[in-house]
Structure 1
Amino acid sequence: MSKFALLFIFLFTAGIFSALFITPVASVLVYQLVYFVNPDIRWWAASIPGIQYSFIASLLMLVVLTIRYKELSLQAEWKKQPVFKWMLALLLMYGFMINFAIVTEVHKAFTQDFAKRVIIIFAAYKLITSERALNACLWAYVAGATYIGYIAYVVGRNAQGRVEGIGMVDTGGDGNLTAAAMVPALIILTYMAWMGNKKIKALAVFCGAFIANGIVLINSRGAFLGVVAGTLFFLFYMIFSRYQRKGQRGTAILIVFIALAGTVYVTDDAFWTRMETLKNTEDGGESGSHRIDFWMATFDVLEDYPLGVGIQGFIELSPNYLPEHYFEGRNTGKATHSTWFQVLSEIGWLGLFFLLSLLISTFRLSRDTKRHLINSENYDAYFKVLALEGALLSFLVTASFIDRGRSEMLYWLILFIAIASNIYYLRSKDPEGRRLKRAT
C-alpha cells in the first residue's frame, strides 16, 4: 500500500473516531478530506477498500448532527441566517424546473446532487460553531488545495499545455473548474501568513507555492483574473484601512513583493503566452472572447423558453442559436461558459434573481459583521472576514468565465462567511449571552 493510501485511510478513520467521540467539526474535516483527495480517481485507489467514501463522509456529518442537535442548535440557528432562505429558493427553483427541463433526466440527476449539497451546507453550519473550528476548516481547505497543486506538479501539462483529470468530485476532471476551486485559498493564505507566527508564515509560503504553481500549470485565464481581483481587494484594505496593526502596511507591501517574486519564479513562457491571449480579442477562439456570443445567445433562448431550459438545456439547444462554425468537428453543443448565464439559462430570470439575492445577502451579512467587529475593536477577526470576502470575490470573478452555478466551492465560501457572522456577530446579539458563552 502506498504512503498516500495509508495516510488517507489513517486520516479518514481518525476523523470518524474524532467526530463521534471528541468534536463534531471533525465530521466536516473528513468531508473536506474526501472532497479534495477524491480517492476514487487517484493512482493509489486500488490499494484501499472500494467503499463509497463520499457517502460515508456525508452520512457521518448527518449522524453527528442528529446526535448533538440540541446542543448545536443553541449555537447556530438556521433561521437567524438570511442566506439560507435564498439557498432553499434556488433549490426549489431547480426542483420546479424538472417539469420544464429540455433534458429531463440530466436535470433531475443534477438537481438531486444539488439538493445533497445544500443539505451538507446546512449541516456544516451547525457543526462549525467556534473560531477554532472555523480555522480548522479553513486550513483543511488550504491543505486540500495544496494537495491538488502537488498533484498538478507531479502530473504536469499534457500535449495541449493544460493539466486535466486531477480535480475534485464535482469538477469532472476539467482543469478550469479545478483551478477555480484553488484560487480562493491564496487569499485566505495571505491572511494566515500575515496573522500567523513564524511557523505559520513558513507553512503558508509552502502551501501557497504549490497552489500558485498548480494554477499556473493548469493555465486558466479566469483563475488568473480571480487571483488578481481577490488579492488586490484584500491588500487594498490592508494598506488603506483606518484600522491598522503595527507594521501592517509594511507587511502588505512585503506580501506584494513576495507574490511578485513567486509569480516570476513559478510562471513560464507557456503561461504568459496564454495570458496574453486575453488581449487578442480579434481571435475569439484564442482569447476566449467568443464566450460573448454564447452569453448573448442565452437571451435568445429565453425568448423561446422564458422559464429557462434546465440543466444541460443550453448545450442541447445551442446549435439552434449559435453559428455553425462553433460546432465543426463537435458532436455536442456549447455551454454558456459563465456562471451568471448558466443560471439564467437553467432556471430563468427568477433563478438568477435568487442567486444574486443570495450573494447580496451574504455581503450584507459580512458588512454587518465587520461593523460589529470594528465597534468591538476585534480587528484580527475584521480582517479575517475581509479575507473571506476576498476569497468569495476571487471565485466569482473566476466563475464569470466558467459554469459554476451549483459548484461545491461557491456554497462553501458563502458558508464560511455565514459561520464567521454567527461566531463574531449573531451570537453576540443574544440578550442572555447564552450562545456567546457556549462559543468561548
Structure 2
Amino acid sequence: MISVLLFISSFISSFILSFRHAAIFGFVLYQVIYFFNPQNRWWGSSVPDLGYSFFSVAFMGVILLLNWSEGKKNKLSQLPSFRWFYFFTLVYSAVYVWSILPSYHMDAVIPLIKGAIILSIAFKLCTTYKAIDYMLYGYVIGSAYLGYYIFQVGRNSGDRVEGIGMVDSPDANGVAAALAPAAVACLFYFWRNTLIKFKLPFVVAGAFIVNALALINSRGAMLGVAAGGAYFMWRLFFAPVQRKYQKLTVIFIVLAGLSSLIYVVDQSTIERIYSISQESTVDESRETGATRMVFWAAAWDMAKDNPLGLGRGGFEINAPLYIPSHVDTGRSRNRAVHSSWFEALSEAGYLGFFTFVMIVITSFVMLKKAKAELVAPEFLNDYFKVVCIESMLISYLVAMTFLNRMRSEIFLWSILFIACAYNIYYLRKLHLTQKQ
C-alpha cells in the first residue's frame, strides 16, 4: 500500500508542478515512472494498467509546446556531446543492415532513438539552474524508492537480490549501477544544505540506496560509488573556493560514511569486495571476475574480423569462436562481453566505438567549461553541483565498464545533466542574472 501511495502521489504532484512551478517536472514525472516501474512490481495490479512511460513522454512534449518561448532558447546544435550522441544513434541504426540478428538489433535501435527524442525534449525543458536540481531530486527520489523496495524484498537469490529491475535494467547488476550515482548526489545535497531538516531527507535516501547496493552485492557498482564518491570528496577538500569549515565537514562526512557501513555491510558483502583483489588473474578451471578480461580480448579480436560491428547479440553468438576453449565461462559459451566499451566495439564497430568514446570525452570538456564560469565565492553551490554531476558520471562510467549498459537510461541521463549544466552556466550564463 505504501508503494501505491508513493507512486500515485509522485505521479500527481509531478503532473501538477509541471504546470504550476517548472516545466522540467514533466521529465521528473518520466524519472519517477522509470524507477517505480509499476507494470513489473508486485503492487502493479493495484494501479490502472496504463502506458505510463508513453504518457509521460507525450506529456513532456505538450509541456514543451506550452513553454516553447523559453525552450527554444536552448539550442541542441550547441551541445558537442549531443551531436556525438545523435551520430552514434545514426551509426548504430545503420548497423542493422549487416547485423547478424536484424530483428534483435532493431529491438535496441528503437529505444535508442526514443532516448534521443526524450533527451532532446528534456534539455529544452531545462531553462533555469533550479531545473537541474529538480532533475537530480527526481533521480534521488526514484533511487531512494527503489532502495526501499529492495529493502522490502530482501535477498531472494542467495546473497543477492533479483527480480527488482527497471524496464532496461532487469538484472541486479544493472539496478546497482543505476543506483550508484544517486549515492553521490546524496553526498552533495547533504553537504550543500546547512539546516538539519533539509539534510535529513538525503540521509534517509542515501541510507536506502547504500543498503540496496550492499544487498545486491554488485562489485562494479561498489567500485563506481567508491570512485565517484572519492572524487567528489577530494574536490570538496581541495577546492579553490571554500566555505567556512569545509575541510572539517569533508572529514566528518567521510568518517560518518565509513561508520555507517557497519550497519549495512555484512559478511557476504565483505567477501564480495575482497574477491575483487583475489580475482585479478584468470582461473581457467572456473569463471571469475577476471574472466571478463578474456571476453574483452575476444571483443578486440572479433572487431578485427568485423570492423563495422555485428549488431546487438553479435558477440554472444560468436563468443565460442573467440573465447579460448580451455577457459571456463560457466554454464554457457555464449556470454555477454560485460563491458559497455567493448559492447560498443563489438556491436557498432570501430566507428561506433570511437563515437561512443567521444560522447564521454566531450561531456568532460563541457563540464570543465561550466566549472570555469563558477569559480567565485558567490557561485560555490553551483560549482559543486557541476562537480557532483561530474562525479556521478565517473561513478556510472566505472560501473558500466563491467556491464553492458551502453544504451541505458542512466547513462543518457548523465549526458543530459551535463548538457543542461553546460547550457545554463556556460552557454547562457543564466546564473549571472538568476542569482540577482
TM-score by length of 2: 0.94
| Counterpart among 142, 146, 159 of residue 144 in structure 1 | 142
1:79 alignment partner in structure 2: 77
- CA offsets per residue over residues 384-412 of structure 1, 9 Å max, x none? 11111011001101111111111100110
Q: Distance in 2 between matches of 1:205 and 1:10?
A: 22
User: What SS is found at the alignment partner of 2:428?
Assistant: helix
Q: Distance in 2 between matches of 1:144 and 1:342?
A: 27
Shift of 1:377: 4.9
Q: Distance in 1 between matches of 2:64 and 2:420?
A: 16
Shift of 1:72: 1.4
Tell me, yes or no, if structure 1 residue 395 matches structure 2 residue 392. no
Q: Distance in 1 between matches of 2:21 and 2:251?
A: 41
Q: Distance in 2 between matches of 1:3 and 1:257?
A: 33
| Counterpart among 260, 263, 267 of residue 261 in structure 2 | 263
User: What SS is found at the alignment partner of 1:165?
Assistant: coil
Tell me, yes or no, if structure 1 residue 177 matches structure 2 residue 165. no
**Do 2:340 and 2:400's aligned partners in 1 also have CA atoms closer than 8 Å?**
yes
Please tell me the residue identity of whatever aligns with 2:15: I
**Do 2:184 and 2:388's aligned partners in 1 also have CA atoms closer than 8 Å?**
yes
| Counterpart among 160, 163, 169 of residue 161 in structure 2 | 163
Q: Distance in 2 between matches of 1:377 and 1:328?
A: 56
1:242 alignment partner in structure 2: 240
Q: Distance in 2 between matches of 1:191 and 1:329?
A: 42
Q: Distance in 2 between matches of 1:239 and 1:375?
A: 16
1:420 alignment partner in structure 2: 421
Could you list the runs of 5+ residues in structure 2 that have no partner in the other structure?
none
User: What SS is found at the alignment partner of 1:24?
Assistant: coil
Q: Distance in 1 between matches of 2:18 and 2:168?
A: 24
Q: Distance in 2 between matches of 1:294 and 1:286?
A: 11
Question: Please, which moves more after superposition, 336-345 or 197-206?
Answer: 197-206
* Percent identity (aligned): 38
The 5 A counterparts of 1:158-237 are 158-172=156-170, 174-196=171-193, 197-237=195-235
Question: Please, which moves more after superposition, 386-395 or 284-293?
Answer: 284-293
Please tell me the residue identity of whatever aligns with 1:114: L
TM-score by length of 1: 0.93
Could you list the runs of 5+ residues in structure 1 that have no partner in the other structure?
none
**Do 1:179 and 1:223's aligned partners in 2 also have CA atoms closer than 8 Å?**
yes
**Do 2:311 and 2:348's aligned partners in 1 also have CA atoms closer than 8 Å?**
yes
2:60 alignment partner in structure 1: 61
User: What SS is found at the alignment partner of 1:169?
Assistant: coil
User: What SS is found at the alignment partner of 1:243?
Assistant: coil
Shift of 1:185: 0.9
Q: Distance in 2 between matches of 1:438 and 1:145?
A: 29
Say how many residue pairs are matched.
431
Change (3 A) 1:283 1:263: farther
Change (3 A) 1:439 1:427: farther
The 5 A counterparts of 1:24-39 are 24-39=23-38
1:273 alignment partner in structure 2: 271
Question: Please, which moves more after superposition, 299-308 or 4-13?
Answer: 4-13
**Do 1:279 and 1:287's aligned partners in 2 also have CA atoms closer than 8 Å?**
no
Change (3 A) 1:327 1:391: closer
Shift of 1:69: 2.1
Structure 1 vs Structure 2 CA RMSD: 1.9
Q: Distance in 2 between matches of 1:327 and 1:208?
A: 36
Q: Distance in 2 between matches of 1:288 and 1:327?
A: 11
**Do 2:287 and 2:330's aligned partners in 1 also have CA atoms closer than 8 Å?**
no
The 5 A counterparts of 1:126-137 are 126-137=124-135
1:47 alignment partner in structure 2: 46
Change (3 A) 1:161 1:97: same
**Do 1:130 and 1:439's aligned partners in 2 also have CA atoms closer than 8 Å?**
no
Q: Distance in 2 between matches of 1:29 and 1:6?
A: 17
Q: Distance in 2 between matches of 1:183 and 1:159?
A: 21
